[in-house]
Amino acid sequence: MAHSQADATIRYVILDVFTRVRFKGNPLAIVEMPPEGGLDHQIKQRIAREFNLSETVFLHPRTSEASQRAIDIFTTTQELPFAGHPTIGTLVYLSWGADIVGQQSFTLQTKAGLINAELHVQTGVAEASIPHSVRIHRKPVPWQSILKVQPSLKSVGDDGSSSSCPLVSIVKGMTFVLVNVLSVEELAALIVGGPRLDSIEWDQGWESFTAPYFYAIVSENRETRNIGVRARMIEPDCGEDPATGSAASALSAYLALQRGTAGTTYNFSIEQGIEMGRHSEIGVKVTLNNRGDGVSDVVLSGSAVLVSEGKLYL
């Protein structure tokens, strides 16, 4: 059916995030909301379902605060308070604007709070100090529940002997079961699909989106505190995710706390999406507080590349 000249239109772009190579990384749709009036929740959800990507961002119009923009983040089924690749993708997209030159501080307003960021135009990298209220829930997920979902796994934990996996939230509303596999070979053998994880018991008031995040530590320099990780996020509703910044942030915060050196910054380089042909590179810096028992700062970094752009007819 042909569109009418009276149809309202809004601009959108598609980016691949956490990569510099088109058709790698994690795809993201960014929809520029019209200045004359916002889109209601129902329409945003329908648009996100139409794109059928892991997340779609709705970018609010500029205000008198030139260095601050508000965003809404939607999956195909719900709105999220925060997600990593929408944050990085939006920041890189904004850095392409004619009003931003060189390196500039910028702020994104999300449902989880304000995100302060540095945009590096020359390198194409965005660094975002993400909102965090890191919580390691009291009840971990039993290993037997993991085996029901991924029967090929043999062992879990840093020493291969753990009987459970930690349940960790980066913010309220975004929680991950952190499953430490022993090798990249075990990681590659994971299946996509299958049943949901059971035996999820959040701390009271912390019920949220929850997904397993499988990872293997592939390198660690204790002097420089640089840690290399390979990871996969597989969840029945979305299949496999090529890059999950919120999960990478939760994992990095947890691993930093396990090492527990007060006031120290740990640098994580996380590769994800390799097994599905969408290699992604996620950077996370975690700084612990002066006691070493809490997280004072989480900085997520990455790049993005434009894939397509066009108009949506409403």
Residue 155: per-residue pLDDT? 56
Query: Would you list the DSSP string of 47-91?
Result: HHHHHTSS-EEEEPPP-S-TTEEEEEEE-SS-EES--HHHHHHHH
Residue 201: per-residue pLDDT? 96
pTM of the complete model beyond 0.75 = yes
Residue 160: per-residue pLDDT? 47
Residue 66: per-residue pLDDT? 74
Residue 123: per-residue pLDDT? 83
**Quick one: which of 29, 75, 80 has its CA closest to 54?**
75
Segments of the chain with pLDDT less than 70: 1-6, 98-103, 155-162
Residue 162: per-residue pLDDT? 64
Residue 158: per-residue pLDDT? 44
What is the Rg, in whole angstroms, of the alpha carbon atoms belonging to the chain?
19
